[in-house]
Structure 1
Amino acid sequence: MRRRILARLAIATCATSLPVSLLVTAPASADSSSSQNDKKNHQSDDLRRIGYFTQWGVYGRDFQVQDLDKSGAAARLTHINYAFGNVSPEGKCFLDSVPGEGDPWADYVRPIDAANSVDGVADTYSQPLAGNFNQLAKLKEKHPGLKVLISLGGWSWSTHFSHAVSTPAKRKAFVKSCVDLYIKGNLPQDGTRGGEGAAAGVFDGIDVDWEWPGSSGEDDTPYTPADKKNFTALIREFRTELDGYAKAQQKQGQQRKHYELSAFVPTAPAKIDAGFEVRKIMRDFDFVNLQGYDFHVSGEKTTNQQSALYAKDDFSVNQTVNDWLRRGAPADKLVVGMPLYGQGWTGVSGGGDGLHQPNTGPAPAKHQAGYEDYKELKKLAASGTYKVYRDKKNGHAWLFDGNSLWTYDDPKVLRTKAEYVVDRGLGGAMVWSLDGDTADGEGIRAIDRGLDDD
């Protein structure tokens, strides 16, 4: 089975690879005792607050859509990106129960009991929509203004993008299939589940997560120089199709709706230039999510920062923002990606604070070596075994116990980055991924408060 995107091998050679301690007081949990300030719903604000919900998180992490409501995250988010939709070898959006290629069971077949349902009502056998899709629909009912986008591709499922967009006819067929499946909600029939229009209204737009047009991604993902212009044409086709569908709905007496279009885009200048005609694509995008993490990863031989706000002669959030601005992207369409996980190494030698030192490999972790959720790193920080280090000038943190090092964003770092978004007049903040946060949503709360500091 192919890995899904626990590694956003985004920068390695000019492109890396793979997808903190708590020094702030934990905020109140999301219940009736929360302060009025904590209850604020920011879904009408200009600044976007975006979080990726992982399809597979309902299994090993037992992270359900309902948890977004219980944690208070849903009330603070403007968008949820559902990861991921796959692209078939034929160049179409599809949902199929092939191991490693699709999971309709998690998406819309799996019955949710009352205890795990957003509204406390269990799914029935006869309803056409269940699983994550139905819970997302319920979450939107509870939080009006919250938008859900289907994110297409990701690290593992970008394999067939280049083929799917290689000609005008293929692009048209690909885009039509995605709109039909996710926007119109015409799901494959699976027993009593699915059917025409079964998921209509769940998704409010498309997030294109092709990693990467015009340059290398995962080993089995082909790319060509033609991807750059074809990507531009793909986004134009998506914009045309989505707007056309909105007009058709209006003619049928429905309220006119704007379907949003976004993308996850890289930090490395070489990858930007290889795959993106920035000025052209930004005309059609509502916004893009900038890669703000995996600058260095646990597969590297030397420990380093993975998500610094500033860095000299290295990748950083500020460098990424400036590179996109210089190429013509409007500031208010740039959303800064932030991690709710850390990259880690073990066998770190050389002494000191552990940074920029040799190591013997990825650090042991709960789910994947070298990759750990923030909620688990918080426990390490509180254990007394690890010491928290901060580079206050460059805006990043790490944990080190003399042998293992974890580079990550804790709430203090996240809030600083959110304040940076405000100061630079950017479009908002995005996190990968929501299942890495604590049960009371510390990461999302920190970002929310930072974005409010204007």
Structure 2
Amino acid sequence: MYRKRWQPALALCASLTVVLGLATTPAHAATTPTATFTKSSSWDGGFTGLVTITNGGATALNGWKVEFDLPAGTSVGAYWDSLLTRTGDRYSFTNRDYNGAVGVGASVSFGFNGIGNGSPLNCRLGGQPCEGGAPDTEAPSVPSGLTVSGTSANTISLRWNASTDNVGVTGYEVFRGGTSVGSTPDTTFTASGLTPETDYTFTVRAKDGAGNASAQSTSVSGRTGKPGTEPPGGRVRVGYFPQWGIYERKFFIKNLDTSGAAAKLTHLNYSFANIHPTELTCFAVTKPTSSNPADPDQGTGAGDSTADYVWPFDAAQSVDGAGDGGWAGAGPLKGNFNQLRKLKAKHPHLKVLLSLGGWTYSKFFSDAARTDASRKKLVSSCIDMYIKGNLPRHYDMGGPGSGANIFDGFDLDWEWPGADGHPGNHFGPEDKVNNSLLIEEFRRQLDALGASAGKKYLLTAFTPAAPALASAGWEMARVANSLDLFNFQGYDFHGAGSDNSWEPNRTGHHANLHTDVDDPYTTKFSVDVALKIYTDAGVDPKKLVLGVPFYGRGWQQVTDGGKKGEWQAANGAAPGDFPVEAGTRAYKNLKAQFPTVHHDEQAVAAYAFANGQWWSFDDAWVIGKKMEYVKAKGLGGAMIWSLDGDDGTLMTALDNGLR
């Protein structure tokens, strides 16, 4: 969505016009396209800037890109008539669909509000100097001083001395064994996803805005550490793995390894475990009389006990390439739990938590949390099953200790204490205090077990974005004393729902960062609104982890989504990835379906429209903006629901954004 936001005139000074990159040459003298910068107004601490692209060349422009640096202490706030990406202090503006064509002798402009008082430097228009004239063909100097600055079991960190250039270096490209593995605007880089105790060789080259590249530097070699060494410190990356993804989605634990996600994640939440409807314990089915996995008596266990520790993965689906064999016969643990063991062996920094509840399995939380005895019983049963690993027998799998040493703690996903959630949920006003008491009971029993085992067990929770839900069920300051992390919801602000019971008749942002000024609803949702719940309660920002979606929400029978933007009339949920999930689709599938994506730069949100379908989702641009927000607010990191929705694009954007 295109927005213009004009800064009020405060202490206005006379406008100042300079040609970007060369202040002494008038733009009208050039015989090639040029870009000029004007400070149309300024005030204490900021300015309004206007960039005018004039086509002084002999052929029309069919699209443009203006890039420049801003000095330390100056940055871009609001902007209009362009799309913006940022890498470090380098800002890249590209045309929108309505102003990309610039005829010979014609001009177009875009603007932005600057924070600070600096002016653009090292400008390039289409890779050439913004002042026009002869193209820049001089390459930067070769980077020097490349050295290894740190290692872990799966990473090697590098640093080097800055290169020089006749106009300006814009970034560096890093090579491992002669193959490009990434780019950075800085003189540091961390190569991830490496194999423990292995030697690697790296080189780096410098690039400028015109696309000139230096020769590669002298190589440096480094060796990764032994398994068990932690990755470099920083913000957490929490990802949810849905156990049912192994069926129709064909998304396996192995995919976390091969995609590079496991190397980037710090915490993996395996979802979900269930609560027994009458015993009010963590539970799984006992061995059935039938050995047929399609038997109708299946599916009554701890979420999905077949997927958890019975399903036999073949060699191609296994983390280490070793298959589990068939269904019949006694043997070692199979299923996702066995794959989690293998994944942890390969990525020992990764903490794996068992997530209890979720939308469907929150039905009996209220009953289980109601008394001191029921709380103690639930917690001890969950620890016995998932931490101590005493899994019930199922197809000759399971048994005492069979699931030990897999999980490092619990993630509690009660949706929602004190408020209605999934149809049939048990809930009541007493849930608010009982929720706190249940969390404290988990903390108490985990700490007692950890003291005897010499280990710290983790306790996290999935927490709401809606102030009403937080008020109904959460004593935030109290539970902060027991929780290691709050994975707070940053999505599902609007949607039609698979049964069209939610908001079927109007499109809207699903995961916007800021409150949209055009939002027609009385109650307005955004990440800003959600975060305020926790900061107002005094929760340590380092414990707050922003939830981001790797999926979108969509509507159908929308008439003009590309032109009108958001908040349009609709008629129900658009077809989803699966029949039971109307209105929901993985990002990787939306990316393939919609080559054109629109950005609401004020609210920070993405959407796409085609063939009557309108979808709201996070793309790499939105993820990048959100990670800047995480760092600016001093938050603990980011959380993903769910990992099966990505093709690697969003995970890379998230990881790079948190570095």
Q: Normalising by structure 2, what TM-score?
A: 0.61
Change beyond 3 A, Cα 1:421–1:100: farther
The question of whether the paired residues in 2 share the 8 Å contact of 1:151 and 1:209 is answered with: yes
Q: Does residue 111 of the first structure (1) align with residue 312 of the second (2)?
A: yes
Over residues 26-58 of structure 1, what are the superposed CA-to-partner deviations in whole Å (9 max), with x where a residue is unaligned?
A: x99x99956275742684523110110001000
- Between 1:345-354 and 1:163-172, the stretch displaced more is 345-354
Please list the CA deviations of residues 309-354 of structure 1 after superposition, one character each: whole Å capped at 9, or x if unmatched: 0014621111111221101211000000000000000101366334
Pairwise CA distance, 1:158: 0.2
1:81 aligned partner: 269
Which residue in the other structure is 1:356 paired with? 567
Higher strand share: 2
Tell me which amino acid in the other structure corresponds to 2:336.
N
Which stretch has the larger CA shift, 73-82 or 412-421? Answer: 412-421
Q: In 1, are the aligned partners of 2:515 and 2:525 still within 8 Å (CA)? A: yes
Contact 2:299 2:305 in 1 (8 A): no
Identify the residue that residue 193 of structure 1 maps to in structure 2.
Answer: 397
Sequence identity percentage = 46
Amino acid at match of 2:488: L
Alignment of 1:398 onto 2:596: no
Aligned to 1:221: 425
- Quote the residue 2:535 is aligned against: 325
Q: Is the 8 A contact 2:573 2:582 kept in 1?
A: yes
Give, in whole Å, the separation in 2 of the partners of 1:93 and 1:68.
Answer: 27
Within-5 A mapping of 1:408-427: 408-427=617-636
Residue correspondence of structure 1 range 172-191 to structure 2 within 5 A: 172-191=376-395
Indicate how the Cα distance of structure 1 residues 417 and 407 shifts in structure 2: closer, same or farther if over 3 A, else same: same
AA aligned opposite 2:572:
G
Distance 1:127 1:45 in 2: 39
Aligned counterpart for 1:69 among listed residues 239, 257, 261? 257
Relative to structure 1, the CA distance from residue 257 to residue 423 in structure 2 (aligned partners, 3 Å threshold; closer, same or farther) is same
1:19-418 matches, cutoff 5 A = 33=179, 35=181, 37=189, 39-40=191-192, 43-89=231-277, 90-96=279-285, 98-99=298-299, 102-124=303-325, 126-249=330-453, 256-298=454-496, 299=500, 300=503, 301-312=505-516, 314-349=524-559, 352-367=563-578, 368-382=581-595, 387-401=596-610, 403-418=612-627
Map of 1:13 onto structure 2: none
SS at 1:283 equivalent: coil
Letter of the 1:159 counterpart? K
Shift of residue 135 of structure 1?
0.4
Deviation string 1:202-249 (CA, Å, 9 cap, x unpaired) is: 100100000000111111101111101101110110001001111222
How far apart are 1:127 and its partner, in Å? 3.2
In 2, the alpha carbon distance for the partners of 1:127 and 1:53 equals: 25
SS of 1:93 mapped into structure 2: coil
Distance 2:451 2:444 in 1: 11
Residue aligned with 1:107, SS: helix
Provide TM-score, normalisation by structure 1. Answer: 0.87
Compute the displacement of 1:176 (Å): 0.3
Match of 1:9 in 2: none
Give CA deviations for 1:79-125 in whole Å, capped at 9, x if unaligned. Answer: 11011000111210012364365321110011111111111112255
User: Which structure is richer in relative contact order (CA contacts within 8 A, separation 6 or more)?
Assistant: 1
User: Aligned pairs, how many?
Assistant: 417
Q: Which 10-residue stretch deviates more, 269-278 or 364-373?
A: 364-373
CA–CA distance in 2 between the matches of 1:82 and 1:444? 18
Cα distance in 2 for partners of 1:32, 1:76 equals 23
Amino acid at match of 1:147: K
Q: For residues 143-187 of structure 1, what are the alpha-carbon distances to aligned partners after superposition, in whole Å with 9 as ceiling and x for unaligned?
A: 111011000000000000000010000000000001111111110
Counterpart of 1:292 in structure 2: which amino acid? G
How far residue 426 of structure 1 moved from its aligned partner, in angstroms, is 0.3
SS at match of 1:87: coil
Question: Greater Rg, structure 1 or structure 2?
Answer: 2
CA contact (8 A) 1:341 1:373 kept: yes
Q: Which amino acid aligns with 2:386?
A: Y
Contact 1:365/1:371, CA 8 A, preserved across alignment: yes
Q: Give the 3-state SS of the residue equivalent to 1:137 in structure 2.
A: helix
Does structure 1 conserve the Cα–Cα contact (< 8 Å) formed by 2:440 and 2:479? Answer: yes
Separation of aligned partners in 1, 2:582 and 2:468: 29
Separation in structure 2 between the aligned mates of residue 319 and residue 206 of structure 1, nearest angstrom: 27
Look up the SS of the partner of 2:241 in the other structure. strand
RMSD of aligned Cα (Å): 2.4
Q: Which amino acid aligns with 1:195?
A: G
Cα deviation, 1:375-419, whole Å, max 9, x if unaligned, reads 00000123xxxx321011221000012621000001111121112
